[in-house]
Structure 1
Amino acid sequence: MTLQGSLTHERYCDQLLAEAERFRSHLRDADLSATVPTCPDWTLADLVRHVGGAHRWAGTIVATRSTEFVSLKSHVRQGPEGTDREALDAWFAEGAERTVAALREAGPDAEVWTWAPVQRSGFWARRMTHETLMHRADAAATTGAAFEVPQDVAADCLEEWLQLCALPVLAERRADRAAEVFGPGRSIHFHATDTPPELNAEWFVDLTGDPLTHRRTHEKATVALRGPLTDVLRVAYRRLPADSDRVAVLGDRGLLDRWLNWATL
């Protein structure tokens, strides 16, 4: 498992900053005490602290070149309490900038701890970009803001999601649900309908064995999820229900539902 991304390290750094800025823009006129519908245990202020804390955690690992696990609670400040907009915004912006500065200084190949087989700083550039992107979807859903993503970034985010779902460390956590998903003749096709052919934004997920495998191709499957790439991505990450009129499900809807429950990151 290489967890290879399709963007350059510098592009991930640029995109992480862009996603952080868009995330902040969704919150500037919002009620930070509002509940996030896609993360109902959190308010918007909690969401800011979660994403900002993740930035600082990854940034600490990269900046210190730590090759061992770094405790989130011990090493990363969790952010201002309450809903002081200016304090939360300044804290969030500073953390994103510091993390990107650490990533740029390290480059993609510095040896650092990650929770994946790839022990390189480039893992964190890609992971934090997509972590921020998907939590921006949460912020947009809460505030009613438009959720737009460059298509190459959205495709890479979905590709990374499938790569992560195949990791043994994540599959082991869901072993009790594996029989509901894996078995003979089971497969899923994710098909973006609004992308140019050169992006190859189609994924065939083979669930006939364990672990899963996937390939970028158009291929008949047990169930297909079709729609604009951003909406397919949001369904995959359970930020949009599969019965939304923005997407179409063809085939065994039950398998898709069981997969989405199993694959939640």
Structure 2
Amino acid sequence: MTVDSYLFCPKDPSEYVARFTTESAAVSSLIETQPLDTAVPTCGDWDLAALVTHVGWVYRWAAVALRTAAMPERGAVSRPDSPDELHDWFTTSATDALDALHSVDPSAPTWHPFQPPQLAGFWLRRLTHETTIHLLDAQLTCSMTPDIDAGMASDGIDEYLTVALPRVLSGEGVTAPTTTLHIHCTDVDGEWLIVPSADGLVITREHAKGDAALRGPAAALFAGLWGRQEAANEIDIAGDADVAASWLAIGGN
């Protein structure tokens, strides 16, 4: 995959820290107020307990990768022994991830399973958007209306396209579309063109014509690209609707 430029944190790092702190606390609050066996409609067969365990596990896994600069060994990351432990386990997971982010120089080496350079600064942005999309899952599960900052959602779209999407498309049995797609935020800055090539995706941040275009508020586009169509009904499609549908069907967890 190639992109026209790549920055680990296009926004000030303090914005990611603030968003991570606020949204991980919101997830923690839901654990205390909602039945943990509630099915999560946007995440296959997961219930709320499985969703929260996944997010907390990612936090702990990233913290180990940050501190050791290596792929965490099997068994290095614990899971809660019972639902009664989930709240405290998750809260500790978020604190541990934030402590690791603060304690490691962003230019230090790390390990992660994505394409960008193996540098510690990668993790702050990745964990922030991981939290945002799964808080959205939890809020939809609990019949709450997600409230995603438009500027952060635009950054989340960029992170999805340049980080998450290539990994999803590398999965077994996943076929990448051969068509081009233009994405255009209507409420904040943010435009991208996706062009498949023999070497993977070529992503440019520009106003350009694709076989199809997705236009709408950044939060709706962010949700839709991640496959959360329940929060993406404000997206307008131009051009070939089948092309747009093929890209929106990819999603991700």
Instruction: Evaluate the alpha carbon distance shift between residue 175 and residue 46 of structure 1 in structure 2; reply closer, same or farther with a 3 A threshold.
Output: closer
Structure 1 vs Structure 2: percent identity of aligned residues?
A: 30
1:252 matched to 2:240? The reply is yes
Where does the alignment leave 5 or more consecutive residues of structure 1 unmatched? none
SS of the residue aligned with 1:40?
coil
Change (3 A) 1:176 1:55: closer
Aligned length: 248
Q: What is residue 230 of structure 1 aligned with on the other side?
A: 219
Deviates more, 1:146-155 or 1:202-211: 202-211
| 1:68 aligned onto 2:61 | no
**Residue 102 of structure 1: which of 100, 113, 117 is its match?**
100
Q: Of 20, 36, 42, which residue of structure 1 is paired with 2:40? A: 36
Aligned equivalents of 1:102 and 1:176: distance in 2? 33
1:193 to 186, 207, 210: 186
Cα deviation, 1:201-249, whole Å, max 9, x if unaligned, reads 222222365412122222222111122111111000001159x642221
Alpha carbons of 1:241 and 1:223: their partners in 2 closer, same or farther (altered >3 Å)?
A: farther
TM-superposed deviation, 1:147: 1.0
Quote the RMSD (CA, aligned, Å): 2.4
Deviations, residues 85-134 of structure 1 (Å, cap 9, x unaligned): xx322211111011101111113112111223411111111111111111
Partner of 2:28: 24
Pair 150,58 (structure 1): closer, same or farther in 2 beyond 3 Å: same
Match for residue 144 of structure 1? Answer: 143
Scaled by the length of structure 2, the TM-score of the pair is: 0.87
Greater Cα offset, 102-111 or 26-35: 26-35
1:11 maps to amino acid:
E
- Checking the alignment, whether the CA contact within 8 Å between 2:111 and 2:119 is kept in structure 1 is yes
Counterpart Cα distance in 2 of 1:148 and 1:57: 27
Q: 1:166: how far off?
A: 6.5
Equivalent positions of 1:179-218 (< 5 A) are 181-182=177-178, 186-195=179-188, 200-207=189-196, 210-218=199-207
Give 2:141's aligned amino acid: T
TM-score, length basis structure 1: 0.84
The letter of the residue matching 2:22 is: A
Q: 1:69 to 1:251 in 2, by over 3 A?
A: same
Give the superposition deviation at 1:143. 0.4
Question: Is the 2:168–2:252 Cα contact (8 Å) retained in structure 1?
Answer: no
Q: Give the secondary-structure state (helix, strand or coil) at the position aligned to 1:217.
A: coil
Task: Give the AA of the match of 1:74.
Answer: G
Counterpart residue type for residue 6 of structure 1: P
In structure 1, what is the Cα distance between the partners aligned to 2:146 and 2:184? 19
- Residues 44-193 of structure 1 aligned to structure 2 (within 5 Å): 44-63=48-67, 66-71=68-73, 73-82=74-83, 84=84, 87-116=85-114, 117-164=116-163, 167=166, 171-173=169-171, 177-178=175-176, 181-182=177-178, 186-193=179-186
| Structure 2 CA distance for aligned equivalents of residues 245 and 149 of structure 1 | 15
